[in-house]
Amino acid sequence: MDILFDILKYSLPSVFLLILAYMMLSNFMENEEKRRLYFLRKETQKSSIPSRLAAYERLALFLERITPSQLIVRVSSRGLNVQQYQSLLVKTIRSEYEHNVSQQIYISDRAWKYIVTSKSAIVSVINQIAGEMDPELPGIELGKKVINHFMKMDAEPSRKALAYLKSELSKEI
């Protein structure tokens, strides 16, 4: 019994110190890993901010370019009938969209939904108005009706999306 007591007397403090050292070392290693990840995230964020800002700029430009008043001024209807002009307008919007689709990785899902919804709404209105018109009328008539339609709205879809992009960007900076 005395031998068992002596063994416990010497080994128990050693086991306790071993457990304590293990816990301290594991806690230290965990904190070091967290610190390393924090600095890595901080460095990544520094390098990604210019890319994110460029994405917001490109998407703002996209929204400006597909705003009906800008689009119709930029895309000439000279020599085109309603059907041809409708096709050209929709093709231009889709081309602009495809050019900027990769920017979605730099913005939130909600902001991207605003952009997609805006594009779809504008294309839908152009198609709807063109569908109600005689396809052989001059294309300028389609342009006038589209601009008039959007002027009657409270806010154009592209303006709503742009406002959301601005608000999101201001929260992040």
Look up the domain containing 103 and give its range: 48-172
At 138, give phi and psi (nearest 5°): -65, 145
Q: Tell me whether residue 25 is in a domain.
A: no
Spatial separation of the C-alpha atoms in residues 31 and 39, rounded to whole Å: 12
pLDDT digits (tens, 9 = 90+) for 77-119: 999 999 999 999 999 999 999 999 999 999 999 999 999 999 9
Q: Tell me whether residue 18 is in a domain.
A: no
Determine the pLDDT at residue 173.
67
Q: Tell me whether residue 94 is in a domain.
A: yes
Three-class DSSP category at 173:
coil
Q: Tell me whether residue 2 is in a domain.
A: no
Determine the pLDDT at residue 64.
96
Q: Tell me whether residue 31 is in a domain.
A: no
Q: Tell me whether residue 62 is in a domain.
A: yes
Domain count, the chain: 1
pLDDT for residue 170 is more than 70: yes
Q: Tell me whether residue 75 is in a domain.
A: yes
Evaluate whether 76 touches 127 at the Cβ level (below 8 Å).
Answer: no
pLDDT for residue 164 is more than 70: yes
pLDDT digits (tens, 9 = 90+) for 23-77: 999 999 999 999 999 988 888 777 778 889 999 999 999 999 999 999 999 999 9
Three-class DSSP category at 47:
helix
Q: Tell me whether residue 138 is in a domain.
A: yes
pLDDT bucket at 6, cuts 50 / 70 / 90: confident
Q: What pTM was computed for the model?
A: 0.75
pLDDT digits (tens, 9 = 90+) for 129-150: 999 999 999 999 999 999 999 9
